[in-house]
């Protein structure tokens, strides 16, 4: 299996090269030359398979012997050692809880898989690997946990000062050792831009042996495709169409869903739920995408004005907005509706949503009203409500219990290095670290 750049200005590379480079030499994102369709027998067996068994089969078909089967199995068993429960809110509406990993967010799936994959790829190498990652919230904490004390790997996490939750900040700034938090005076898009510039800088790439753990890295998307199959298996027959509502910021999670659809999963529609950063809904209406300034919202992990992975969506659909509209429906949900939705979900279902899940649920409700669809629907709930305690607690009448792992994290000392949103200053810091 070879992987090409979305810019198509450099030669295809192996999976290992795509993972270790992160970004293509021409600045594009890596994509598999082929997305294989899984056999019908796989879908008929889905209901009897564990999450780990599903992950192994999907990865085996997609990666096509890029690493030994025994090693792939080991990575999967080690990375996904937590539950992935589906909760039914009604006969039609279900929520897949993706927050039962160590940092209580869906990013654990990708970060833990990637960390073990990269550790395997660099085993025995004399040169240390440097990971540069931008975060709008949960990516940073998941990467910090997933790569903590990994031999031969140094991690720098760039996050926007004052624009992640207090709990998220503690999670990504308290590890120490090989995890260095860089607090950038700017937005997530500033952090992401600095990371992309770094990969285009020969000095940094050569000296630091640089790669990324952002969803620009193809290794992030592959494990995120696994839970689409797992969720569908729990509520539907092998050929029953499903609708997924996906809280969408940088568009990695929903792109992984498209991979699952292309591999044969019967997904009828993706509800791309966004907050006030509404570039994609505008694109679906006009056919033209325009980068816009990032707007700060309650669902901070989705505060992205220029989502990187939309380049992969455009590539998959050959830049045809008509074809994209066939699979996607998108709407912007503002903070007032987020608050109302959290209250409504608790009152109606006794279920506690956090802001990102609330965006997804509100968008889903709007889609069902507009389409009158009777298909079963699955909301991807991406984080534990305790991570957004100040917002959620005041909206519902019951106390939200704080998981022990978050309690312990809050007792630790924040360690970060404050830098301006300036590539040259960040580069000088990295070169002299």
Q: Which residues are catalytic?
A: 107
Q: Which residues contact 167 (CB under 8 A, 6 or more apart)?
A: 386, 387, 388, 389, 406, 409, 410
Give SS3 for 173: helix
Structure tokens at 251: 């568009």
Pick the closest to residue 158 from 129, 195, 209, 130 (CA basis): 195
Q: Which residues contact 162 (CB under 8 A, 6 or more apart)?
A: none
* CB contact burial 98-118 (16+ within 10 A = b; e otherwise): bbebbbbbbbbbbbbbbbbbb
Asked if residues 263 and 281 have their Cβ atoms less than 8 Å apart, the reply is no
Asked if residues 99 and 381 have their Cβ atoms less than 8 Å apart, the reply is yes
- Please identify which residue in the block is written with the tokens 């070169």: 431
Using CA atoms, how far residue 146 sits from 38, 216, 260, 382, 405, in Å, is: 29, 17, 24, 17, 15
List the beta bridge partners of residue 97: 381
The DSSP element (H or E) to which 427 belongs, if any, is: helix 423-432
Burial class (CB in 10 A: 0-12, 13-18, 19+), 252: buried
Asked if residues 270 and 328 have their Cβ atoms less than 8 Å apart, the reply is yes
Q: What is the secondary structure of 15-78 as a DSSP string?
A: HHHHHHH-S-TTS--EEES--PPPPHHHHHHGGG--HHHHHHHHHHHHHSSSS-HHHHHHHHHH
Q: Quote the CA–CA distance of 249 and 272 in Å, as a whole number.
A: 9
């Amino acid at each position: 299996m070879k992987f090409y750049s979305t810019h198509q200005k450099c030669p295809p590379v192996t999976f290992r090269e795509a993972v270790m480079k992160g970004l293509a030499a021409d600045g594009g994102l890596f994509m598999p030359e082929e997305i294989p369709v899984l056999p019908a027998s796989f879908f008929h067996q889905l209901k009897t398979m564990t999450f780990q068994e599903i992950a192994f089969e999907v990865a085996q078909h997609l990666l096509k012997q890029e690493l030994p089967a025994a090693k792939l199995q080991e990575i999967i068993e080690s990375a996904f050692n937590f539950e992935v429960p589906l909760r039914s809110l009604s006969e039609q509406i279900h929520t897949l809880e993706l927050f039962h990993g160590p940092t209580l967010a869906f990013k654990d799936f990708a970060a833990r898989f990637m960390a073990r994959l990269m550790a395997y790829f660099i085993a025995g190498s004399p040169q240390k690997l440097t990971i540069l990652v931008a975060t709008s919230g949960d990516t940073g904490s998941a990467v910090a946990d997933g790569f903590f004390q990994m031999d031969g790997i140094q991690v720098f996490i760039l996050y926007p000062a004052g624009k992640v939750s207090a709990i998220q900040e503690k999670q990504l700034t308290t590890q120490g050792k090989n995890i260095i938090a860089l607090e950038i005076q700017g937005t997530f898009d500033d952090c992401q831009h600095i990371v992309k510039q770094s990969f285009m800088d020969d000095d940094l790439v050569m000296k630091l042996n640089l790669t990324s753990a952002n969803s620009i890295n193809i290794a992030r998307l592959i494990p995120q495709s696994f839970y689409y199959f797992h969720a569908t298996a729990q509520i539907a027959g092998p050929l029953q169409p499903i609708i997924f509502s996906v809280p969408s910021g940088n568009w990695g999670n929903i792109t992984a869903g498209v991979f699952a659809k292309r591999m044969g999963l019967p997904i009828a529609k993706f509800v791309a739920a966004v907050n006030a950063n509404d570039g994609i809904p505008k694109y679906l209406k006009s056919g033209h995408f325009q980068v816009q300034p990032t707007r700060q919202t309650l669902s901070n992990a989705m505060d992205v004005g220029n989502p990187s992975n939309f380049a992969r969506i455009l590539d998959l659909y050959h830049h045809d907005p008509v074809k994209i509209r066939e699979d996607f429906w998108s709407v912007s949900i503002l903070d007032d509706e987020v608050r109302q939705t959290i209250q409504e979900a608790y009152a109606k279902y006794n279920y506690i949503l956090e802001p990102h899940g609330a965006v997804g649920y509100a968008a889903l409700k709007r889609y069902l009203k507009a389409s009158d669809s009777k298909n079963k629907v699955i909301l991807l709930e991406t984080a534990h409500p305790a991570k957004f305690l100040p917002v959620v607690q005041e909206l519902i009448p019951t106390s939200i219990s704080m998981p022990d792992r978050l309690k312990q994290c809050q007792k630790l000392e924040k360690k970060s290095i404050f830098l301006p949103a300036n590539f040259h200053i960040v580069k000088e810091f990295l070169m002299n670290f």
